[in-house]
Amino acid sequence: MTELRGVLKAAVVFTFVFLAGCGFTSQGNIVRQAISAGTARAAEAGLQNAEWFLCEAAPIGPIKRRYAGDKADAYNKLCDKGSADDIVTPSTP
């Protein structure tokens, strides 16, 4: 009998969590908002880390090979490099 109660209790909890996650209850909105906010913060931090690595920590040789030519303006703009500090130069027509 206690085993059946445990199974029923687990089923009720699972159903509540499922419905909350799906948005059929007011808790679903809270859960989704919390997940969205956390995901947005993680994405923002990830982009900042990627930009720092690309602009400050990556070796110059691979940067020149990867971003020389058509991609040079995008790299220089992303990394806020002035014309005197450009690591890569655009291709000349």
3-state DSSP helix/strand/coil percent for the chain, to nearest 5?
80, 0, 20
Distance CA 39, CA 50 (A): 16
pLDDT at 58 over 80: yes
Residue with tokens 């499922």: 18
pTM (2 d.p.): 0.54
Looking at 1-93, which runs of residues are DSSP E strands? none
Distance CA 71, CA 81 (A): 14
Other C-beta atoms within 10 Å of 41: how many?
Answer: 10
Q: What is the pLDDT of residues 28-39, one digit of tens each?
A: 677 777 888 889
